Structure 1
Amino acid sequence: MEDPSKKNLSFFESVQSNFDKAAKLTRFDDGILEQIKTCDSILKIKFPVKIAGKLEVIEAYRVQHSHHQSPCKGGIRFSMEVDQEEVMALAALMTYKCAIVNVPFGGGKGGVKIDSKKYAVEDLEKITRRYTAELCKKNFIGPGIDVPAPDYGTSSREMSWIMDTYASLNPNDIDAQACVTGKPISQGGVNGRTEATGLGVFFGVREACSFKEDMDKLGLTTGIEGKRVIVQGLGNVGYHTAKYFEEAGAILVGLIEYDGAIYNEQGLDLNAVQAHRQITGGILNFPEAVNYVNPAEGLELPCDILIPAALESVVHKENADKIQAKIIGEAANGPLTAEADVILNRKGVLVIPDIYLNAGGVTVSYFEWLKNLSHVKYGRLEKRFSENMYQELIGIIETTTGRKVSELERKTVLRGPEEVDLVHSGLEDTMIDSYNELREIYNTVEGVEDLRTAAFYCAINKVGITYEQRGIFP
């Protein structure tokens, strides 16, 4: 087999290469493996939209990678880089991601080939609503069919347009809110969705750092506190990842954005950097930090943990050997190429793969979908009951001990769980359990040489068992 570190693979080819590497270690026959690997349904559409009095023809996609579970699930991105191969790769990753974190969805992904910055809000709304109408016509959207979410270039605003369009075209669907996730709270969204991916990244890396034998191999102590962290990308995912690391006592030594990188071995104040960025339009020239005009240089600076949270393929065969981090947490989709993977594994770097680590978004999307289907806000049924029970408990403690509980202690104990508390708790439990499952595979399955292979092995095994048990539909 040719060494992947000697080849130039596309993003799609990298995903397929990682799949093949893990697939040969499983017990499934070639037929089932081919069914898992292939995209089930691919929709490519072109539709006209009138913009500023002229018709524009918009190119768009929706890929349903796997129907082993229903509905399919995956974001919609607005980008000029959108093409069929990219959407197929991202849809495949969604299948594997959902399987790893035990979320019962098949993978899907969508893309609209536009530069959203060039359009007025009302024109973006036209494009989004027309795209949704096309998905409805082709039966590529619905609470039990295919459930989109935000991705690059989209947000809760676009999701509310999608939901409204779907609901207007399906007026008798009582579960219409569940046709899309990542919505505004007022439109059926869930508290905790905004920070979900970044918080999931933090939980995943924190769990990886909790095993003494693993950290000993890297020459690191356990825990997050005191570890030097570089985060690439200060979008939603990167910002929240950096925020949670900083709050846990890590030292943010480096931050990387499109305009360059800044570095200070004593640490950077995230909120101060954000304030500087708002005033100046970029992160460069932040007080007491060293500037690097080429953002790629920031990836190669000294640190313990590197978090690529922006673009695909930023670590490749040309720079992989220069990376000084001992742990790389893939917050973005596909930030390491297959060639870089080989090089970094040979160096002994612990790479925590994207198909596990950035699954916080789809996990909390699952919680939102369940909320929409149940028509009940999380915490509504138990919050007051919990508070009353805690009140009784405090009364028993005070009577038994003869000590009056302070007002601060009373407030802390009496607080029943809000929706965001339950969402964060569910996400934390998911990320911890899933990491331990991958680590067990890595340590026990012969031929599994890294966590990425363990993650693909885990996903293939779960999807393959589903196909085996289902059999062939007559």
Structure 2
Amino acid sequence: MNGETQGKQFLRSVHHYFDEAARHTNIDPGILEQIKVCNSVYKVNFPVEVDGKVVVYEGIRAQHSHHKLPTKGGIRYSIHVDEDEVIALATLMTFKCALVDVPFGGAKGGVKINPRTTSVEVLEKVTRRYASELIKKNLIGPGMDVPAPDYGTSSREMAWIADTYHTFKYGETNALGCVTGKPVGQGGIRGRTEATGLGIYYGLREALQDTEIIQKLHLNSGLSGKRMIVQGLGNVGFHAAYFCQQDGVIITGIAEREGGIFNPNGLNIQEVFRHRTESGSILNYPGASNVENSLDLLTYECDILLPAALENQIDQHNAADVKAKIIAEGANGPVTQAAEKILLQKGVFLLPDLYLNAGGVTVSYFEWLKNLSNVRFGRMGKRAEEASLRRIVDTIESTTGRSIGAKERKLLIHGADETDLVRSGLEDTMILAYHEMREVMRQTPSVNDLRTAAFFDATQKIAVSYHSLGIFP
């Protein structure tokens, strides 16, 4: 344990959760070992000219499982990227995809670089060079491995990767499917930006309609009136908090790198975001008190704690002081293995990252399908659907002799566009996955927490894939 890197701790933790779930299955140990191990890791060092000097950057791409192709996973830019962390994240992606029935194997990538202190010009050079290294080894492509944004990257980097791929594979019909999370104008999909946060909202909403769970927690059903503290006001944290607030959640605290803010009467998430954009900090937000050490907010009174920043934020040192009734893991691995034991003993309900932040990869799957079909969702059916609905409304009006108001009429005859279809698919995915996990807990009494149930369900699905391929008896 001494001298162990955070990445190695993270990987060990992921393996522990898998082992814990695997012991409840009847799957052959050899198959379990194959499901557990990372299939391949590619590391590359490449030179880039920066201000007249050559700087060597390190890139990594791990493909954890090839039980389904392509593999899928984000690319993170951070000076702290290491091989164990990338493998751990790729491993999580395998089980995450299986859990929500997205037909990908898990992968992850990273480049050791600080995106906050690096110029846009250098970031573009590094991104294109990293992409070209993967392309030369056939480690990226719509049928092989499909990256996406992650910590430190965005749609901008994905557009650079797609353009680089198209340069190498000029004329390939499905070239845009080589990466997801692209800008809408360059093959991206509407609804991708808020996907992970919206998925968190759907997951929380479903859990708070689960009578058995809310009775144990002594809570009323539904999100309305629940107090929430959010760690991380990035894309995931902001959108999760925004959609929850739209449904009546009271955001009492927000934690960020520079510190935290707290107001027991509630914070307007959009106004806080605007304040941070204008001032560069969430601190000194009108009506809120500053919290110097933002980690302290994790132990404040609330119904729901949403850690949506980085790994290992709740550990054995602060877990006993956590007062939240529900921890919703918006980030990957925000609760350590040791902390989880403490929290479960206290009766805290954990919604695991494996399930809760799967909205991103779900909508990435929709984007990939859009790129392979080369047509925008809703394009062929929207007007036909509206025409049909208009005829029904006209018939009702003529039959009853009463006119429907203009606003109501517009809502009734609205045909589903791309955003509607994406959100509908995401909502259905999150609801079905939640009930699959709960069914595991009902059918397997020895499984008594959602994380173990999630790994159990995903492991069973992956084993079925191996059997269907004829790889194992």
- Secondary structure at the aligned position of 2:299 is classed as coil
Deviations 1:172-230 (A, max 9, x none): 32100000000001110000000000000000010000012210100100000000011
Deviates further, 370-379 or 272-281 = 272-281
Q: Distance in 1 between matches of 2:38 and 2:446?
A: 27
Q: Distance in 1 between matches of 2:407 and 2:119?
A: 50
Q: How does 1:107-186 map to 2 (within 5 A)?
A: 107-186=106-185
Alignment of 1:458 with 2:461, yes or no, is no
Aligned amino acid, residue 125 of structure 1: E
Q: Distance in 1 between matches of 2:350 and 2:111?
A: 31
Could you say which residue in structure 1 is the equivalent of 2:373? 374
> Is the Cα contact below 8 Å between 2:69 and 2:145 reproduced in 1?
yes
Per-residue deviation, 1:9? 7.6
Deviations 1:401-447 (A, max 9, x none): 11112211211112111100110010000000100100111222132
> Is the Cα contact below 8 Å between 1:198 and 1:241 reproduced in 2?
yes
Per-residue deviation, 1:296? 0.7
Per-residue deviation, 1:236? 0.3
Q: Distance in 1 between matches of 2:106 and 2:92?
A: 7
Deviations 1:362-382 (A, max 9, x none): 000000000000011000111
Aligned amino acid, residue 451 of structure 2: R
Q: Distance in 2 between matches of 1:278 and 1:77?
A: 23
**What residue ranges of structure 2 are gaps of 5+ in the alignment?**
1-6
Deviations 1:303-336 (A, max 9, x none): 0000000010000011101000000100000000
> Is the Cα contact below 8 Å between 1:9 and 1:337 reproduced in 2?
no
Alignment of 1:227 with 2:211, yes or no, is no
Could you say which residue in structure 2 is the equivalent of 1:442? 441
- Secondary structure at the aligned position of 2:233 is classed as coil
Could you say which residue in structure 1 is the equivalent of 2:3? none
Q: Distance in 2 between matches of 1:332 and 1:326?
A: 18
> Is the Cα contact below 8 Å between 2:203 and 2:434 reproduced in 1?
yes
> Is the Cα contact below 8 Å between 2:8 and 2:84 reproduced in 1?
no
Deviations 1:327-347 (A, max 9, x none): 010000000001111111111
Q: Distance in 1 between matches of 2:24 and 2:405?
A: 59
Deviates further, 258-267 or 424-433 = 258-267
Q: How does 1:25-64 map to 2 (within 5 A)?
A: 25-64=24-63
> Is the Cα contact below 8 Å between 1:42 and 1:64 reproduced in 2?
yes
**What residue ranges of structure 1 are gaps of 5+ in the alignment?**
1-7
Deviates further, 306-315 or 44-53 = 44-53
> Is the Cα contact below 8 Å between 1:9 and 1:338 reproduced in 2?
no
> Is the Cα contact below 8 Å between 2:8 and 2:85 reproduced in 1?
no
Q: Distance in 2 between matches of 1:188 and 1:296?
A: 39
Could you say which residue in structure 2 is the equivalent of 1:249? 248
Alignment of 1:285 with 2:284, yes or no, is yes
Could you say which residue in structure 1 is the equivalent of 2:305? 306
Aligned amino acid, residue 79 of structure 1: S
Could you say which residue in structure 2 is the equivalent of 1:420? 419
Alignment of 1:239 with 2:238, yes or no, is yes
Q: Distance in 1 between matches of 2:435 and 2:91?
A: 23
Q: Distance in 2 between matches of 1:75 and 1:22?
A: 25
- Secondary structure at the aligned position of 1:356 is classed as helix
Q: Distance in 1 between matches of 2:408 and 2:271?
A: 33
Q: Distance in 2 between matches of 1:116 and 1:260?
A: 21
Could you say which residue in structure 2 is the equivalent of 1:261? 260
Per-residue deviation, 1:278? 2.7
- Secondary structure at the aligned position of 2:138 is classed as coil
Per-residue deviation, 1:67? 0.3
> Is the Cα contact below 8 Å between 2:70 and 2:105 reproduced in 1?
yes
Q: Distance in 1 between matches of 2:336 and 2:237?
A: 20
Per-residue deviation, 1:283? 1.5
> Is the Cα contact below 8 Å between 1:41 and 1:65 reproduced in 2?
yes
- Secondary structure at the aligned position of 1:417 is classed as coil
Aligned amino acid, residue 257 of structure 2: Y
Distance 1:9 1:169, change over 3 A: closer
Query: RMSD over aligned Cα, in angstroms?
Result: 1.3
Query: TM-score, normalized by length of structure 2?
Result: 0.97
> Is the Cα contact below 8 Å between 1:315 and 1:335 reproduced in 2?
yes
> Is the Cα contact below 8 Å between 1:363 and 1:427 reproduced in 2?
yes
Q: Percent identity?
A: 55
- The count of residues paired between Structure 1 and Structure 2 equals 467
Q: Distance in 2 between matches of 1:418 and 1:472?
A: 41
Q: Distance in 1 between matches of 2:220 and 2:436?
A: 22
Could you say which residue in structure 2 is the equivalent of 1:5? none
Per-residue deviation, 1:291? 1.9
- Secondary structure at the aligned position of 1:25 is classed as coil
Deviations 1:379-398 (A, max 9, x none): 01110001100110011101
Could you say which residue in structure 1 is the equivalent of 2:69? 70
Aligned amino acid, residue 432 of structure 2: D
Aligned amino acid, residue 311 of structure 2: E
Per-residue deviation, 1:50? 1.1
Q: Distance in 2 between matches of 1:262 and 1:247?
A: 20
